Structure 1
């Protein structure tokens, strides 16, 4: 329910995941963070915030950039985002470009199901995992009593489900969206197809 909780997800084309960033509605006293195993550059972390509504505003977006995205950056990056107004704010774009060496591009509304890797492949698997965790939890536990316990359960399910999404599912999303090339690779994930030979015409032009 977006009026109660929203989650910001980002993943990389080779399968790494950024920490899920959870936003919980109206809870000024309760917040927690937990770190679980993950790839070194993108460890999993839980952030639970408390705006008036569970959506991202400028403050939350800049906080996500500072706490989640910036520590993961180790070189120039291209970040594909949905066409939400918050992503296009000058302060957000400046933070990406000037502090994170990141160029932000936007996927046009109406085609995210075809061009957004998260929508193409990842979210279907993630939502299925969330349902499984929820059902399995309540098969042996009573419903959480009190708002803090319910919010803790929501974030715990999000973290566990996100960690359980396999790298190959993420990579498949980028391939199906047509964003990254694909083909036969070796054990180190390098392409094993030889580059095309230079034509004789190009060689002649170089001599001239």
Structure 2
């Protein structure tokens, strides 16, 4: 996380930057908090148990997507896997992600955006 702060956040942080993080233990580690303080960033933590309200896409779309991807991997043929090239591995992973995404219905994503609202129409 400190590496991300130094290489990604710090170069883009402005004087009035705010970073909202969930209550994951790593986010609250002293070295992470100190690194963010050195950038002048105001850090706010989402209270535990509030992820569903604060991050509905994470709860209602990303979590099921990750579960579907895991299922795709657990459905692999048993036995010793054959050696594959990096290109084949990327192609295989892409196909598994696409298959998992197809299991997440468009209606679900639409409902989540309305749940996250309010949005101007």
* TM-score relative to the length of structure 1: 0.33
User: Shift in Å at residue 97 of structure 1?
Assistant: 1.3
- Asked which structure has the greater RCO (Cα within 8 Å, sep 6+), the reply is 2
| Higher fraction of helix | 2
1:68-88 CA-to-partner distances (Å, cap 9, x unmatched) read 111221231221111111110
Choose the corresponding residue for 1:85, options 17, 21, 25: 25
Indicate the SS of the match to 1:71: coil
* 1:95 matched residue in structure 2: 35
CA distance in 2, matches of 1:71, 1:153: 35
Q: How many residues align?
A: 93
* 1:105 to 2:44 alignment: yes
Quickly say closer, same or farther: Cα 1:153–1:111, change in 2 above 3 A.
same
In the TM superposition, 1:1-208 aligns within 5 A as 61-98=1-38, 100-116=39-55, 119=58, 124=62, 127=65, 145-146=84-85, 148-149=86-87, 150=89, 176=116
Unaligned runs of 5+ in 2: 70-82, 98-108
Unaligned runs of 5+ in 1: 1-60, 132-143, 158-168, 185-208
CA distance in 2, matches of 1:88, 1:152: 37
CA distance in 2, matches of 1:81, 1:92: 11
User: Shift in Å at residue 109 of structure 1?
Assistant: 2.3
Runs of 4+ more than 2 Å apart: 116-121, 148-155, 175-178
CA distance in 1, matches of 2:37, 2:91: 34
| Higher fraction of strand | 1
CA distance in 2, matches of 1:80, 1:110: 15
**RMSD (CA atoms):** 4.2
Larger radius of gyration: 1
